[in-house]
Amino acid sequence: MGTEEPPSPTGENRAGEEPSAAPVGETTDEATVTDEGVELERTIGLVGGLAIGVGTMIGAGIFVFPGLAAEEAGPAAAASYAIGGVIALLVALPASELATAMPRSGGGYYFISRSLGSLPGAIVGISLWLGLVFASSFYLVGFGSYAVELLGRAGVSLSWPVPPTVALGLVFGALLTGMSFTGTENTAKLQNGVVALLLVILSVFLGYGGLDAVGVFGTSSTPETFSPFGFAPVFTTAALVFTSYLGFAQVATVAGEIKKPGRNLPLAMVGSVLLVTVFYVATIFVATSAFGSKALGKFGETAMVEVAGEFFGLPGVIAILIAGLLATVSSANASIMSSSRAVYALSRDALLPKKAGSVNLKYGTPHVALALAGVPVLLLVASGQTEVLAEVASFLHLVMYGLICVALFQMRRNAPDWYDPDFRVPAYRAVAGVGAVASFGLIAFMQRLSQVIGVALMIAAAAWYYYYARDVSLKGVL
Amino acid sequence: MSKILLPLRVLEDESLSPGLIGLLAPADVVVLGYYRVPDQTPPGAAREQFGDRAQSRLDDVAAALRDAGATVETRMVFTGEVEQTIARTAAEADADAVVHPGSAMQVEDVLVPLVGRPDLAAVAEFVASLVAERDIDVTTFALDDDLTAADVTAALADAGVDADQLTAADGPGGGPVDAIASVAAEYDAIVMGEPEPSLTEWVFGELEDRVATESLGPVFVVRARE
């Protein structure tokens, strides 16, 4: 931290509430100490940080998208994933630098509101909240697909008036939100365990499948044309599957709780992106060599189950079904929790009513923020639109990612005294410049409906800011 | 004078019994007020909501201890990992012991079961400072095969515990927790060494926590220093 005391946020919102005075007096490796001497313990280590990143991402990338992506782009879907991975990495580096300079809860919202001001901050904060809501609904629809597939294979066929995928997604979404109200213990440890189990299952599966595909066992599969539909679908598919890379920024939303933030934040963000990129590319390679991309597309959201069946028979099917259920549900849960943290960060800065961040006396949980995340999730799950949900989630995140890169330029150029990151991006102009262009550019490849919804939500966010919190000033403060 | 860390869930009205205040009166006490934040809650949000109330409860406890004659510092922590917070603050304050408050009206006898690391001298010294110039009986038994009752009484006597106050009992047998649990309720307070990490520690949780659950009174755990 710099020697000079950074200024505090000023102004008030329509309800006359002011941003809470910056509580931070000192940031140590193990705690944040407020200026009144109250300590906030940092409890998430490197493994926990990686688990948040990987756990949020892997559910979508491996268990939902491969079929949809292969149908659109053929085996070149692997390139789509690689493009997504490169963009994510280009944003993860600037995000790491900003997070080590400002290791506070709120992630991208926090950096952008502090470096670019409260209007971009409000738009990004509200986009982050809603983007995570869209992402979470998308994961729950994926969960529903796996649950229906599991029941189907067990011989249970559901003939309900509503699509069973949606119904099961709704039930689990309600369950997750309900559980988070009452304050569960050890969800973090559970998350670590789930992620470890997933990585083991996937490593075995991809290792064997990969060797098989190159012809170590039996006959080598005949490779189909790499990009049967040309190169344009590679980019539209990249825009679709980018939802598989939203998790690294969730590490930054809990930056205030990460131990040794100077070291662990960059490692967790960059590490989780690299790890999932490798898994994604390998998955597409294995999946497209087991079946042709057309067949994969027909299997839809649960294509991976068929692929596992091809290699390992029934045990493989069961393993991937269980892994898919765990992965999608843990992604959904992590996103609801991150979304409620975004709401808290906004209410702390008076961009949303203070009530939104209040903590329940009985359970000690932020019940209003959780409801603001959980209830819209259920409404969106009911729509059952996998691809649109995913793209709107990506849209809202990509806007934030682009602005994170812009924020890095701003901070490097007009560095305030307190700006002293432990991690500095090498060649930051190139990294953040390409990162920003690529993030905004990817939006152009989305479906028209997703773009319209995304733009409408951003305009609504800006309108809210002008109506409710125009006088709040956050730029350049801590 | 020994330095004692006293973790207290201040917001849940965990408070001090008269017996414990009496025991702590001559000591240097660091009162650690803490609030266990659920995984869903950013610690900062909990502080914003509960910080003032927690601080005023903590100040009340500190005032009660000061009135009894103790030297008091306070710390307030919002944490998702209570064990981590206690370990960190104990190390930062360089405390000799951590006390689980329990409840006792008046402390007339103390049980000193010797388990865990061979830090006999540290435990003996702490016991001596706790009972110095008071009418408190000390009963001790060794649960370690390498220690005899004679070793233990000798160490306590060396540290300055009066021979009149001292009784060496035979260990009741069985595992350490069962052994302590079977007699714990008969004593007003317990002093023990910091348990050594072992497999059962990992599986069943902290030995000291289980002892604290079984005994009604305060449990002092003397820290093992490197």
Mean pLDDT of B178-188: 80
Global pTM?
0.88
CATH of the domain at B26: 3.40.50.620
Parent domain of B214? 109-222
> How many domains are there within chain B?
2
Please state, in angstroms and rounded to a whole number, the distance separating the CA atoms of residues A389 and A373.
15
| Inside any domain, residue A15 | no
Query: Is B50–A359 a contact, with Cβ atoms under 8 angstroms apart?
Result: yes
| Inside any domain, residue A380 | yes
* pLDDT < 70 positions in chain A: 1-7, 21-25, 216-223, 478
Task: Show which of B64, B95, B126 is a domain's final residue.
Answer: B95
Contacts of B77 in chain A (CB under 8 A): 31, 38-41
pLDDT of residue B226: 61
> How many domains are there within chain A?
1
Query: Is A34–B47 a contact, with Cβ atoms under 8 angstroms apart?
Result: yes
Q: What is the pLDDT of residues B139-169, one digit of tens each?
A: 887 766 667 777 778 888 888 888 788 887 7
pLDDT of residue B83: 86
Dihedral pair phi/psi, residue B123, rounded to 5°: -65, -45
Please determine, for residue B116, whether its predicted confidence score (pLDDT) is greater than 60: no
Cβ contacts from A onto B, under 8 A: 102
Task: Show which of B95, B121, B145 is a domain's final residue.
Answer: B95
Same domain, B68 and B171: no
Same domain, B84 and B114: no
CA closest to B54 among chain A residues: A38
Which residue type, as a one-letter code, is found at position A91? V
| Inside any domain, residue B208 | yes
Query: Is A344–B45 a contact, with Cβ atoms under 8 angstroms apart?
Result: yes
pLDDT of residue B225: 73
Higher pLDDT, A297 or B176: A297
Q: What is the pLDDT of residues A38-58, one digit of tens each?
A: 899 999 999 999 999 999 898
Contact between A38 and B11 under an 8 Å Cβ cutoff? The reply is no
| Inside any domain, residue A475 | no
pLDDT of residue A189: 81
Percent of chain B topping pLDDT 90: 26
Please state, in angstroms and rounded to a whole number, the distance separating the CA atoms of residues A473 and A12.
9
Which one of B41, B75, B76 makes the best mutation probe of the A interface by having the most chain A beta carbons within 10 Å?
Answer: B41
pLDDT of residue A264: 95
pLDDT of residue A191: 85
pLDDT, averaged across chain B: 83
| Inside any domain, residue A30 | yes
| Inside any domain, residue B104 | no
pLDDT of residue B145: 67
Task: Show which of B35, B60, B95 is a domain's final residue.
Answer: B95
Contacts of B37 in chain A (CB under 8 A): 364
Chain A closest-CA separation from residue B162 CA (Å): 42
Same domain, B136 and B195: yes
Residue A213 CB-half CA count within 13 A: 23
Same domain, B73 and B141: no
Q: What is the pLDDT of residues B40-96, one digit of tens each?
A: 888 888 988 898 999 999 999 999 999 999 999 999 999 988 888 998 999 999 999
Query: Is B47–A40 a contact, with Cβ atoms under 8 angstroms apart?
Result: yes
| Inside any domain, residue A3 | no
